[in-house]
Each structure stands twice: as structure tokens, then as C-alpha cells.
Amino acid sequence: MTQSPGQGNALDNLLTESRTFPPSDEFAAQANAQPALYEEAKADREAFWAKQAERLHWETKWDQVLDWSGAPFAKWFVGGKLNVAYNCVDRHVESGHGEQVAIHWEGEPGDSRAITYAELQREVSKAANALTSLGIGAEDRVAIYMPMVPEAIFAMLACARVGALHNVVFGGFSAEALRTRIQDSEARLVITTDGQYRRGNPAPLKPAVDEAVAGAPSVEKVIVVKRTDTEVAWTDKDVWWHELVDSQSDQHTPEAFDSEHPLFILYTSGTTGKPKGILHTSGGYLTQASYTHNYVFDLKPDTDVYWCTADIGWVTGHSYIVYGPLSNRVTQVVYEGTPNTPNEGRHWDIVEKYGVSIYYTAPTLIRTFMKWGADIPAKHDLSSLRVLGSVGEPINPEAWIWYRENIGGGKAPIVDTWWQTETGAIMISPLPGVVSTKPGSAQRPLPGIGAKVVNDEGVEVPHGGGGYLVLDEPWPSMLRGIWGDEERYRDTYWSRFKDQGFYFAGDGAKYDNDGDIWLLGRVDDVMNVSGHRISTTEVESALVSHPTVAEAAVVGASDETTGQGIVAFVILRGGAGADAGGAEAIKALRDHVAKEIGPIAKPRQIMVVPELPKTRSGKIMRRLLRDVAENRTVGDVTTLADSSVMDLISAGLQSGKSED
């Protein structure tokens, strides 16, 4: 590992990684992706995307692949018409796969349900007829606030089928968060459940809807799925799913909509301001979701069993549970609950039970598994797994290696997929079977995608240099704006590199010496130590590469001498030993970082904590840790998944850890 700090770089490149894992010959030979894909896309980008769009059934073919004349508002497959739900459901039944299981649904309490494509078609048709019976049609907005039950997927597809936009709100959000999202999108209908299972117990959900709807006059009806059978208050807007939907005809003729017909709004919270309603449309979105799902996960629809552990409340659930996989005729597992119910082996039980072959999850969960210990997966037969994926944050090289060895049997390729709610689908990722993977790197833009790392002036940095990640070509699944706020759309994504016309992703990144891309976290999180711009990700990765550390979060706290000083919060691994939090051990950790990255990155302070503050999608809230590090009152904790975490951290600190 070497240190190469460069003053004046937008971001310094400090940590280097030399391990690479070429694909096996067997994997490469059978892979969906072949090296020629890159050449093909480079030779004629639009022709390449047109070919990918042919993965779908179009009622009317497009007459123009891309219209970018209204930049930054793109139109893809102009003039084409298709029905998104038909593409995800009916055409598989029509091609003779009605009896194939689409969804192996696994409830948290242990109940399960296998749903074939034929059954999915009937359920989605009934739900679509129910929407029509309520007067919901094209362009109407429907809020979906549900746990991971099959009806949530039926509801999304039913919206797509009738041309209504769904606005899925994560079931862990509060009534207030739901209300603002309903109001901003002016939803006419809400679909929810009576309750949801969380960590083995039923918890009410509908009261939050009642509270939200009381303050949201646009809502005319609320459809309620019975899941936990808990008693619920009833208003005259409410109707039971089983009464309304089950009595509908299971026949429904889908209508073809314009390629640019809106498909959904999904709210994403930035660091400041109200949540942004990210708008996606139909043809381009489905094309890229389908294309990426096929090549990045190497999906074989006849033999694979795929499992993406995301919640449908996030974009990953939209693109890689619903639209990408179902458009590719997947057989997939959908799991309702938490990974430690009834015990910490639940995911591996499920992998064994269904013979899962492709598993897609987030680094936060991988690090949690590390913390729980490798002996848990070791008790299970995970030999069915052949491709592993990661998304949502930079994955530290050590977590990557742990994942490969303990879950992937030392051989399944890992695809580290970089993308955003705004990009709609995967943008940067190795193609399994083609690219030799590198622990911690998302590596290169997929064929057809333009991405690069630039400095403050928008000039591409050389290999070995760090800067900002930008997307320099429009892509099919790009957002088509922020709902109701054109100016914010232009400001947020297109103003930073206006002259160059680049989309600014908000992430720091670097090239290694081979030109592979490494994501370095949100630029708002970059630390400035004695004039060096250091990424939180690199210091966290160095900490996690120490055998006693499971997870680390690093922040810059103001420092009289150096501008900012590095303060680290670490969670120890299961079995790290009683001394692992002692003064000696802390010193060893600081030295370890100095050795891995260089003395410049040595944390000023390391605190051992039991938990880290995370958003509900698993991202660390460094803002709160900065408050702790700078001895301020901790700020707004309402978007934390578990707001008691900050108390735990403060309590731990008072009981005496761990500056040296």
C-alpha cells in the first residue's frame, strides 16, 4: 500500500489495492456478457441501446432512439409505445412460461407462497381492474406504503398497467414523511396494510396512514391489505384489498403507453431541503433495468434463483426486484423480514431452502454479517450461490473479501454496482465473466454508459488521480426531472459542470493506475486535513482491514492545527476479544491506518461504539457523528432507522473510551 498525496487534487488518492480476481474459464464461457459488448457500444452508442430496447415488447416501435435537444430532459425511444406490466408479466405467460415461479415469497413468521407467472398475471389484472373501478387511470398518482408482501408488487405492476404513477414510500417511514410525499405528489389513492412483521412481532402500519391522510386532502381512497390481522380503525375512505380486488375479473387488456409516459415517482432525501420526487418514465427505464439485470447478474431465467434483499421502498427494489428481474422472466425470492429473525442465519436458511444462485445486497448488511461472525454462514450449504452483488455504498475491500470467502465460497464473482435513485439503473459495475474483479472498486462504466472522474474545472483526472464522478452522456433510465420542480433539477444535477453539460452525481471518485473507478463517498463528506482532501471511505476501509474491526465511520472534526482532524467510530467484530477496545488496541488501530494509507490519514481519535447511526436505507449519517466529534448537541435524528443509537453512542463515550 502506498501513499501519494497530491495537493491541489480535488480528492487525494491514498489507498491502493493490488488484489484482482479473474473470472474462471467456466464462468467466462457461459457468461451472458462477452468482451465484444464494450466494443459494440463504443462503435455506435445509439444503435447499441436500440438493440437493448429490443429485449422488450413494443406495441409500436420508436422512430428515434434519443432526443437530447431539450437537455437536460431526455427522450428515449421517441414515438415508441409499450406497456411496462405486460413486459414484466403477460408476455412470459404467452411464451409458455405461465407455470414458472416468478416469486418465492417468504414471510417473516415462516409462512410462504410460490407465485407463478400465470398467477401473477391474474393478480395484477385484478388489481388493475380494481384501480379502474376507483377511477384511477393514466397519470394519476398512487402512494404505496407497505411491507414486503406480494400485494406490494401486484400494486406497483397494476399502476404501471393502467398508466398511473406509483409513489412507493418505505414502510419504516413516519406518518409525517408519508404525508409530505403524498402531498407533494398529490396522490389520489393510498395502498397499505393493517400491520407489518418486524423482528418477529406484528406492528401496526395503518395508524400512520390515517394520520397522514388526515392532513392530505388529495387522497380519496385507501386500500388496506390484511397482513397481521391486527385491529384497525376504519374511515369511510378505507376499503379492504380482499373485498375490492378479489371480486374483480382476472382478465385485463393492457394499454400501450408512450415510451416517455411517466412510470413512477420515488422520493429521495438529500442532505438538505425537502425530499426530491425523482421522476422516471417507461421505455428507457425498462430497457436499462432489463439490460443491466441480464448482464450484470448473468441471469439465466431457466435455472437461476435470484434474490435481491432490498426493500421496494428504495430504488433497488423498484429496478432489481420488480422491473429488471420480472422483465427478464426471473424466478426470485422476496423476503418480508429482518435478517436476524428468528436468528442470524435467516438469510442462509433462505439461500439453502430455495437454492439461491444470485444474491444482491448492501455493504451495511455484509458488515453486519461480519460482525455476527463467519461461523453463522459456515453452518449452511451456500454452494448454490454463483454471483454476488453489492450496492448502496462503497464496499470496503475487507468486507468484499469476507463476502467472497464466506458467502461466495471463494469463487463467485462479486459485482459492485454503482448507481443512484436518479440514474434508475446500474451505471458502473464489472461485468462478471469479462472483467477481473477488484475488492472495493466498481471499476468501469457499463457498455453504453459514459462516466468519468474530473477535477474542479471539469477536466478528466489522470490515472491515479481523484476528483468528482460525472456522467457525460445521457442514458435511457435517467431521471426525467424532480416532480414539480424543474429549477431544482437543473440546479442539483446540471449546474456544477454546466459548461461541459455533465451530470454531477455528488460522489467523489478516483481512478487507479489501471483506470478503474473507485467511489469515495459523497463529496459533502470529504475531509480536509492539512490541505489534503481525504475521502472518508478510504480511512474507513483501512480501519475495516484490521482484523478486529467490523465497521467504521469516519468524520472530519474541526481542528485548530490541521483544519480538520479525523475522528473514527468503530464497531468491533464478534470474537475480537476483550482487549480490542483498550488503549493499546486503539493505538494499534491508529498505527494500522498510518501504515495502510499514510501518517496524514491517522485518526486523531478513535471511539469504540456499539452501533452507528444509519438512515433506513443503511447509509451512515456522518452529520450526527460530526456533532459528537465536535461536542455539539446532536442534530435532527428523525431520519435515523433507530433513533436510540445516538443515545447508545453518547452513553458508550461517557463510560470512558477512547482517545489516545
CB of 324 to ligand PRX, least distance (A): 12
Total residues contacting ligand PRX by CB under 6 A comes to 20
Residue 593 CA to residue 660 CA, distance in Å, equals 15
Q: Which of 222, 366, 442, 453 binds ligand PRX (CB under 6 A)?
A: 442
CB of 130 to ligand PRX, least distance (A): 31
Nearest Cα residue to 360 out of 412, 307, 288: 307
Using rule CB under 6 A, residue 512 touches ligand PRX: no
Q: Which is nearer to ligand PRX, 194 or 507 (CB)?
A: 507
Using rule CB under 6 A, residue 392 touches ligand PRX: yes
Q: Quickly count: other Cβ atoms within 10 Å of residue 271's Cβ.
A: 11
Q: Which of 393, 512, 538, 551 binds ligand PRX (CB under 6 A)?
A: 393
Residues with Cβ within 8 Å of 324's Cβ and at least 6 positions away in sequence, in order, are 289, 290, 292, 293, 294, 425
Q: Which is nearer to ligand PRX, 287 or 420 (CB)?
A: 420
Q: Which of 258, 416, 551, 596 binds ligand PRX (CB under 6 A)?
A: 416
Segment contacting ligand PRX (CB under 6 A): 115-123, 288-296, 411-419, 588-596? Answer: 411-419
Using rule CB under 6 A, residue 294 touches ligand PRX: no
Would you state the cell numbers that stand for residue 63, as one nine-digit string? Answer: 422512430
Using rule CB under 6 A, residue 507 touches ligand PRX: yes
Nearest Cα residue to 307 out of 288, 290, 327, 293: 293
Q: Quickly count: other Cβ atoms within 10 Å of residue 615's Cβ.
A: 14
Segment contacting ligand PRX (CB under 6 A): 211-219, 353-361, 390-398, 638-646? Answer: 390-398
Would you state the cell numbers that stand for residue 197, as one nine-digit string? Answer: 412483521
Q: Which of 505, 555, 586, 646 binds ligand PRX (CB under 6 A)?
A: 505
- Pattern of binders to ligand PRX over 312-351, x per CB under 6 A? ---xx-----------------------------------
Residue 401 CA to residue 407 CA, distance in Å, equals 10
Residue 165 CA to residue 171 CA, distance in Å, equals 18
Q: Quickly count: other Cβ atoms within 10 Å of residue 118's Cβ.
A: 18
Q: Which of 127, 159, 388, 391 binds ligand PRX (CB under 6 A)?
A: 391
CB of 268 to ligand PRX, least distance (A): 5
Burial readout 518-547 (b: 16 or more C-beta within 10 A, e: otherwise): bbbbbbebbbebeebbbbbbbbbbbbbbbe
Q: Which is nearer to ligand PRX, 395 or 589 (CB)?
A: 395
Residue 79 CA to residue 259 CA, distance in Å, equals 7
CB of 483 to ligand PRX, least distance (A): 15
Residue 98 CA to residue 115 CA, distance in Å, equals 10
Q: Which amino acid is at 530?
A: S
Q: Which is nearer to ligand PRX, 283 or 521 (CB)?
A: 521
Asked if 227 and 145 count as a contact pair (C-beta separation under 8 A), the reply is no
CB of 124 to ligand PRX, least distance (A): 25
Residue 557 CA to residue 346 CA, distance in Å, equals 39
Q: Which of 132, 230, 268, 455 binds ligand PRX (CB under 6 A)?
A: 268
Using rule CB under 6 A, residue 443 touches ligand PRX: no
CB of 391 to ligand PRX, least distance (A): 5
Q: Which of 75, 367, 444, 522 binds ligand PRX (CB under 6 A)?
A: 522
Would you state the cell numbers that stand for residue 572, as one nine-digit string? Answer: 468491533
Nearest Cα residue to 517 out of 505, 499, 532: 505
Using rule CB under 6 A, residue 519 touches ligand PRX: yes
Asked if 486 and 494 count as a contact pair (C-beta separation under 8 A), the reply is no
Would you state the cell numbers that stand for residue 502, as one nine-digit string? Answer: 455533465
Q: Which amino acid is at 544?
A: V
Using rule CB under 6 A, residue 420 touches ligand PRX: yes
Segment contacting ligand PRX (CB under 6 A): 214-222, 279-287, 340-348, 413-421? Answer: 413-421
Segment contacting ligand PRX (CB under 6 A): 6-14, 47-55, 66-74, 504-512? Answer: 504-512
* Contact footprint for ligand PRX (CB under 6 A): 268, 315-316, 391-394, 416-421, 442, 505-507, 519, 522, 617
